[in-house]
């Protein structure tokens, strides 16, 4: 397994790509409301990427044995865990929770990858709790990152927190290295044991993107070859950031003006670094 170590120029390019991805989500935020279709969200994202000078990494993306992905982004509603395909027939309703997952490619070929949860109108207490706990779980994983730590530390922090709050961790999908390659090494599991797995080194860039279910962790794939749902139809939530391992810890790259606030429990030095990079 070869994991790329990025230099300062690479990190600067990824900082731009990741901010642009986050800005797509900023732009879409006012449109995430009842009565709007996920197909319209997809069209809006395509137009905004064109304005940015980026392009979508997902449209036409194809794995061996699977059909090309047809959307500019992924819209996963309620019990859809990930890879939900935007559709003109899917109208967002009051009480829905929706994950919007965006990956842009800059003209220089760098990928910015991030996702957010959106609450569509007033939501149930259970839905709001799931979204909030999943966000905190992602940040707990992020906050483990520093040179000399291990990937297992990230997974353990997420798993312990999620299961301690009665949620389950989806195991079939994971975070990943990202840069000029969309999905690269290392694979970042959202469960695990501390002190295990790859040792983190300065210059590694990867995503942390836990998918947590309100019910059981088992998932299934729909006949379209992409959409993943919870087997028990329980609600699922996901948040995603891309980050780089720095000499002192980490820098979250997918921050922009509209990014949700960093939780109070995140170490102060890291919050300051993130704020500096998003300014």
Say what the pLDDT of residue 268 is: 53
pTM, full prediction: 0.94
Say what the pLDDT of residue 39 is: 98
Fold of 8-278: Creatine Amidinohydrolase (3.90.230)
Classify burial at 67, counting beta carbons within 10 Å of its beta carbon; exposed 0-12, middle 13-18, buried 19 or more: exposed
Which pLDDT tens digit goes with each residue over 32-66?
999 999 999 999 999 999 999 999 999 999 999 99
- The contacts of residue 149 (CB under 8 Å, 6+ apart) are 199, 200
Classify burial at 53, counting beta carbons within 10 Å of its beta carbon; exposed 0-12, middle 13-18, buried 19 or more: exposed
All residue ranges of the chain with pLDDT < 50 are: 269-279
Write the CA distances from 64 to 128, 174, 212, integer angstroms. 37, 19, 27
Say what the pLDDT of residue 276 is: 40
Say what the pLDDT of residue 279 is: 34
């Amino acid at each position: 397994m070869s994991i790329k170590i990025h230099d300062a120029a690479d990190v600067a390019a990824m900082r731009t790509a990741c901010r642009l991805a986050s800005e797509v989500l900023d732009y879409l935020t006012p449109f995430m409301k009842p009565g709007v279709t996920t197909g319209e969200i997809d069209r809006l994202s395509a137009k905004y990427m064109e304005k940015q000078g980026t392009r979508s990494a997902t449209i036409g993306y194809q794995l061996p044995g699977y059909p090309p992905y047809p959307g500019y982004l992924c819209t996963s509603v309620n019990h859809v865990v990930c890879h939900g395909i935007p559709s003109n027939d899917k109208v967002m309703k009051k009480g829905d929770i929706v994950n919007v997952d965006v990956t842009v490619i800059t003209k220089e070929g760098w990928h910015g990858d991030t996702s957010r949860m959106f609450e569509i109108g007033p939501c149930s207490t259970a839905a709001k709790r799931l979204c909030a706990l999943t966000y905190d779980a992602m940040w707990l994983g992020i906050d483990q990152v520093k040179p000399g730590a291990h990937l297992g530390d990230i997974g353990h922090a997420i798993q312990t927190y999620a299961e301690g709050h009665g949620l389950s961790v989806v195991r079939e999908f994971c975070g990943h290295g990202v840069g000029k390659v969309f999905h690269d090494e290392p694979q970042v599991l959202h469960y695990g044991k501390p002190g295990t797995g790859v040792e983190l080194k300065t210059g590694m860039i990867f995503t942390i993107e836990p998918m947590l279910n309100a019910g059981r962790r088992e998932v299934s794939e729909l006949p379209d070859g992409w959409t993943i749902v919870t087997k028990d139809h329980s609600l699922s939530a996901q948040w995603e950031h891309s980050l780089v391992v720095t000499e002192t810890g980490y820098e979250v790259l997918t921050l922009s003006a509209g990014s949700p606030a960093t939780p109070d429990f995140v170490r102060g030095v890291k919050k300051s670094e993130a704020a500096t990079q998003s300014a």
